[in-house]
Amino acid sequence: MSDPIRDVGSLSSRSEKPKGKRGRPRLQRSAQSQTERRRAQIRDAQRTYRLKKESAIQNLEQSVVLLQSTVNGFETLFRELYEEGVELAIKENNSGLMQLFAKAGVKFERIFAISKDPDSATHDMSLTASKHFNAHKAQEHYKSSTEANNVIPESFTNIGAPSIALSASPSETRNTESLGQPEIQPSQPANTSNGLIYGFPQDLIPGLNEIEDTSRLEMSSIKEPLDNIQMEQQQEIYQQQQQSQQQQQQQQEQQQQQQQQQQQQQQQQSQQQQQQEWTTDLLGFRQNLGMFSNSQSSNQPSVQEFKNIFEKGNDDAKIDAMKRLLVIMVNGEPHSQLLMHIIRFVMPSKNRELKKLLQFYWEICPKRQADGTLKQEMILVCNAIRNDLRHPNEYIRGATLRFLCKLREPDLLDPLVPSILSCLEHRHAYVRKNAIFAVYTISTYAPHHIPNAAELLSEVLATETDATCIRNTFVALSNMDRDRAFEFLVQKAQPIATQDDLLQLAVIEFIRKDAIINPQLKNSYMSIVFDILESSSNTAIYEAANALTKLSSDPKAIQGAASKLVELAVKESDNNVKLIVFERVEELHLQNPNVLNDLTIDILAALSSPDLDVRRKVLNIALGMVSSRNVDDVVKFLKKELSKTVTQDMDKNSEYRQLLIQAIHSCAIKFVEVAASVVDLLLDFVGDSNSNSAVDVISFVKEVVEIFPNLRSSILKRLLQTLETVRSGTVYRGALWIIGEYSLEEHDIQDAWIHIRKSLGEIPILASERRHLANGDEEESEEKPVESHKPKILADGTYATESSFTSKEPSEEHKANRPPLRHLILTGNYFVAAVLASTLTKLVLRYQKISKNEARKNALRAEALLILTSILRVSESEIVTKKIDEDTSDRIFSCIKVLAEGYKEEEFEEAFLVDSKNAFKVIVQAQVKQRAETNAIEKKKNATQVDESVVFRQFAATTITDNTADDLEQDIIRAIGSSEKTTEKPTSKLSRVVQLTGYSDPVYVEAYVTVNQFDIVLDVLIFNQTFDTLQNLFVEFATLGDLKVFNLPTPENVGPQSFHSVQATIRVSSADAGVIFGNVIYEGHSGSDGNIVILNDVHVDIMDYIKPGNYSETEFRTMWSEFEWENKVNISVQWNSLRGFLSYLMKNTNMACLTTSALGDEEEDDCQFLSANLHARSTFGEDALANLSIEKDSNGKITGHVRIRSKGQGLALSLGDRVAELQRQHVSATASKKALAN
């Protein structure tokens, strides 16, 4: 017979055969039937087992419930008997009986604890009872009853809470150690003399024994079926536990894998961030050094930790440790004891980033011993560097050569010279260009190592073909051997225009320096520079143009350089480049007046740029170059650009149009020949929707009419024609003022009157408007039924007047058809009405003087009175939505009074016809004077006197006066603080010293505050006033406001009675007021006790960042309406004059006065009130506007307010605080003077 197992295996191996094979179904059916029978048997056994199990559990539960009820009954019975016995003992004051009941209570708790625990018969366990029995109540009651007699049994007071411990067998019971009683064996009954066993009376024992026997019989009857059930349950539980353990293991493994993946991702991200932050160049490393040191200064590893990382860590850990070490070393801690560990464990690594960090380390690590000799370890370092110089990878060679350019140790460089020289002939240009600079550096600091360096580089230059290597060699030769560099420039560098732009820049630098030493070669150098101007590189063209202006002051050379700069700016797309280049062109124009005037049109070609800043810069430069020769071309160009703003829709079109109008205005004021043609064009823009442009046009017309009397008549006619399109109240006011002041002829007055009468419409205004509304109501009544109205009764019981009814609004069509002047008055613009009243009065008074027709005189006067009374009536009626103000009403009433009664008096005629025109004439003259003074100041800045002395920077550097001086020399002069801006005396620097701690503090700290353009530098001096060494002394700074601490000092150890200096840098981001505060933290000699000394606050003075501005009135009004934040500061101070206070305010707030009429001599100050507009601009581009309104009473006290506006809240608040502080300072100074006088 065949083996069925083997047959099954063979069948399973032949499972891929077709189903038609015989024998396979029979074997499969028999096997399946056996399996099913086995499963049925298992199911039946499981069912029988569950039934038995359930019945046994039910019987057991019933037995347990019965036992529990029996025990509870005995417990209740005993507690009642016990409480009665205790109360009886207390009443009879029997101490022996009390002790007996206490012991009985303890034993009672033990027995009932055993009876309540079903597992005590089979398991070894311990139980601690937490109930406090009634013995404690008896104890308290007995204490209170016997406290008066001071008789308290000692045994009773020491009774504690019952505590029970059970042994493995139910018959063994022992006390806990806290009770201090010996164990009681079951064969030795306790307290038999009192008839008690285990604390129970003898008659209760049989009941307990019956309960115990019953429970044992029931337990033995269910024990056998339960054993089988427990075995099977244990197997099932065991299998389930194994499965659950396997699942838990799998889940743990998956979680560990996920955590590992997350850690790897985090490590990769951190590595990428570190690689981004830590650049491969030393310059980038040092730029990030301050930020990195601030984040790592508080958690610096120790030397031993560094050693462990270098010895046992991987490359990533070593990279992080090297970065930390470099930061610490740059901050002043050498860590020389780590040198050998770095040589042993870091230097052999092939990691590129680690190798770069290692080069940084070799650059800054101490390389010499105390006696000045080179350390022995440097031999190993030198060998490693030499191996890198011979490395087959050209980039490792090049990086090593670049690193050697930073070494300054001749003893270390000496063994490397042969390897460096061999790199000059390397096939790769990257190696050669770095080898050239390495040779140049070694020959500079250790010339004896390579005595023929210039000759070697000259040979390299003769055979080199790479452009970068040629440039590097020429730069090296120009600093080592000037003659060889000049020979190469004359012989082999021609034609220079076709050479590489790097070589061209090197040639320009060589020419710029050599021309100062050899001025006789300037002409030949100029030809080379002119050739470079034809280069294709914009950078080379810019540098060549600047060099050309330094080589010669010839107008042709200056003009050629400027033309190239203008061409470069026009074709360059970057707006920043445009602004930089035009800045240079403006400097050339100021240094060489009238030389660049022919380039004006070329400069105006840059107006094609859409950037508004570029356009503004171009217009400023071009207006400075306008002359009588090119003014016609400039004005034509500007007209063409102005017409483009009408036909084309460009970005910031209105602002650009305003710039063009201002530019044309400037040209017309300077040159009278273009004023007539310009006025006609500009008057077309009087009706412009942009009110700022229209206001500029009216201001221009005012000035032209005053300066050029011959153009008044034509300008008035053209103005009257264009006023029909004006919808701006400001523009109409200006036009009415011009008509009233400059209508001097009879026909001009008649034309102006006709226009005003036409612009007002039907007179009287109130009657015509009511009639129109009535006609509108009649038309509506034809369509709608008529509604009857009864008299309206108000809340106070009176009848409503006419004005109390709700007025009906006129139709939109009627509003659109109103004449412009009538529309402005009815919409509530009563300032125009006041100007109209003044204009009509001027026209009537002037017509009375020049006309002889009495009838026409009276007619004009009567019509003027009718117009003015009509305006007053309609302004108080229900037609208008806004009532007239009191000031305008008084103004119109005064004009009516002059027209009705006092037109013959000379005082009124002079006030209306002469004084107002003279006031405007004074303003125009002041503007002309201001322009002339500004031009004179600009010319004086760039003027050089014939007998001016030569300035030697080394001896007496005060100002930069030589315009042809070397740019590098000028930069050095500015860097050392010897420019024209630094006129501060050395003794005045003491005012910058701020005391930060007191003299009695253990650490005295003071700081010298240096304010730069965008940062504040604190030079902190620390003096240890104690006789102990202060360890880990750290000066900590924090800021409030738009300040940020950029570089904090590192902790240092300061010896007793010694000084220490540190420096901190705070970045400033706005001109808001800020506060710098901090403290000094140090440790004592033990190193465990920490001490803190709080520093005084350092307040940032915003005056260091505020400069006077210079805006026009239009710009001031525009910005005043745009700015959101306003700070109003009240003024109340004793002062001699109003103008004196204005001058004091301007001087101490660095603000410029835009109202020139407010400035004047203080001695001639006889006014009682003053109003002025002020402007200042911060170095961060923030504008601050202020309006001063003050008056002076008879006692000499000035009262009023200053309204300060800015775009941001901080600047307005800071300037307001400054004004308030100035008042307090003046009040305190005045009080101190009075005290001294008394």
> Could you tell me the CATH number of the domain that includes residue 634?
1.25.40
Which of 1100, 1119, 1145 terminates a domain? The answer is 1100
The pLDDT of residue 187: 36
Instruction: Let me know if residue 696 belongs to a domain.
Output: yes
Using an 8 Å Cβ cutoff, are 1208 and 1070 in contact?
yes
Rounded mean pLDDT, 534-541: 89
Q: Is the pLDDT of residue 303 over 60?
A: yes
On the question of a cis peptide bond just before residue 495, with omega within 30 degrees of 0, the verdict is yes
State the average pLDDT over residues 125-138.
Answer: 39
- Between CA 233 and CA 770 the distance in angstroms is 108
Between CA 732 and CA 725 the distance in angstroms is 10
Does residue 842 surpass a pLDDT of 60?
yes
What's the domain count of the chain?
5
Average pLDDT over residues 1002-1022: 88
Q: How many percent of the chain have pLDDT more than 90? A: 17
Highest mean pLDDT pick, 227-231, 238-242, 250-254: 250-254
Please check whether residue 179 lies inside any domain of the structure: yes
pLDDT at 1065 over 70: yes
Over residues 923-938, the mean pLDDT reads 77
768 and 737 part of one domain? no
Instruction: Give the pLDDT band (50/70/90) at residue 851.
Output: confident
The pLDDT score that the predictor gives to residue 876 is 86
Look at residue 1020 in the predicted model and tell me its pLDDT: 92
Average pLDDT over residues 565-585: 91
- pLDDT attached to residue 74: 74
pLDDT of the residue at 882:
84
Give the span between the Cα atoms of 225 and 229, in whole angstroms: 6
Considering only 606-620, 639-653, 823-837, 862-876, which range has the smallest mean pLDDT?
639-653
- Identify whether the C-beta of residue 1152 lies closer than 8 Å to the C-beta of residue 1183: no
Least confident interval from 50-54, 811-815, 880-884, 1143-1147: 811-815
The residue written with tokens 């008839």 in the block is 195
Sign of the C-alpha dihedral computed for residues 109, 112, 117 and 123 taken in this order: positive
Least confident of 308-317, 895-904, 979-988, 1016-1025: 979-988
Identify the CATH number of the domain in which residue 1057 sits: 2.60.40.1480
Mean pLDDT on 913-920: 85
User: Domain residues for 119?
Assistant: 54-215
pLDDT number for residue 1126:
92
Res 710 pLDDT > 60: yes
Residue 269 pLDDT: 60
Judge whether residue 356 has pLDDT over 70: yes
Q: Could you give the CA distance from residue 682 to residue 678 in angstroms, rounded to a whole number?
A: 6
What pLDDT does residue 226 have?
Answer: 47
* Predicted local distance difference test score (pLDDT) of residue 1071: 73
Looking at residue 9, its pLDDT comes to 38
Last residue of a domain, one of 1100, 1123, 1156: 1100
Phi and psi at residue 264, to the nearest 5°: -65, -45
Same domain, 1018 and 1163: no
The predicted model gives 335-364 an average pLDDT of: 90
Burial 1065-1093 (b: 16+ CB within 10 A, else e): bbebebbbbbebbbbbbbbeeeeeeeeeb
Output 233 or 610, whichever has higher pLDDT. Answer: 610
Assigned domain for 1006 exists: yes
Query: pLDDT category, 778, cuts 50, 70, 90?
Result: low
Based on the domain organization, do 686 and 753 belong to the same domain? no
Query: What mean pLDDT is predicted for residues 862-871?
Result: 91
Q: Are residues 1089 and 1153 in the same domain?
A: no
Name the residue with tokens 């000084």: 1059
Q: What is the mean pLDDT of residues 337-350?
A: 90
Q: Which of 474, 549, 562, 547 is nearest to 513 (CA)?
A: 547
Whether the full predicted model's pTM is greater than 0.75, yes or no, is no
Give bridge partners of residue 1099 from the DSSP assignment: 1075
1086 and 1198 belong to one structural domain = no
Q: Is residue 378 part of a domain?
A: no
pLDDT at 128 over 50: no
Average pLDDT over residues 140-167: 39
Binning pLDDT at 50, 70 and 90, where does residue 1048 land?
confident
Could you report the per-residue pLDDT of 192-218, keeping only the tens digit for each? 333 333 344 444 444 445 444 544 544
Which of 34-43, 86-95, 146-155, 633-642 has the least mean pLDDT? 146-155
Do 721 and 758 share a structural domain?
no
Q: Report how far residue 890's alpha carbon sits from residue 888's, in angstroms, rounded to the nearest whole number.
A: 5
Q: How many residues does the chain have?
A: 1238
Q: Which of 351, 283, 348, 292 lies closest to 317, judged by CA? A: 351
When pLDDT is cut at 50, 70 and 90, the band that residue 431 belongs to is very high
Between CA 248 and CA 257, with CA 254 as vertex, the angle to 5 degrees is 140
User: Of the candidates 195, 215, 235, which is a domain's last residue?
Assistant: 215
- Is residue 34 a part of any domain in this protein? no
Closest CA to 1111 of 1103, 1121, 1119: 1119
Chain mean pLDDT for the chain: 76
List Cα–Cα distances, 1233 to 307, 390, 777, 1198, 1238, in angstroms.
70, 83, 76, 19, 9
Max intra-chain CA distance, the chain: 158
User: Do the domain assignments include residue 411?
Assistant: no
pLDDT (0 to 100) of residue 278: 35
Q: Which residues pair with 1039 in a beta bridge?
A: 1076
Same domain, 1096 and 1182: no
Return d(Cα 438, Cα 473) in angstroms, integer: 11
Pair 760, 835 in one domain = yes
> In this predicted structure, what is the pLDDT of residue 970?
60
Whether 1019 and 1057 map to the same domain: the answer is yes
Please report whether residue 196 resides in a domain: yes
- Domain co-membership, 70 together with 205: yes
Q: pLDDT tens, 666-708?
A: 888 888 788 878 888 888 888 776 667 888 888 888 888 888 8
- pLDDT at position 809 is 59
Q: Do residue 736 and residue 773 come from a single domain? A: no
Residue 211 vs residue 443, higher pLDDT: 443
Assess whether 685 and 755 both reside in one domain: no
* CA–CA gap between residue 468 and residue 476 (Å, rounded): 12
Residue 926 inside a domain? The answer is: no
Cβ atoms of 530 and 548 closer than 8 Å: yes
In order of 391, 402, 447, 681, the CA distances from 398 in angstroms are 10, 6, 22, 68
* pLDDT score recorded for residue 288: 41
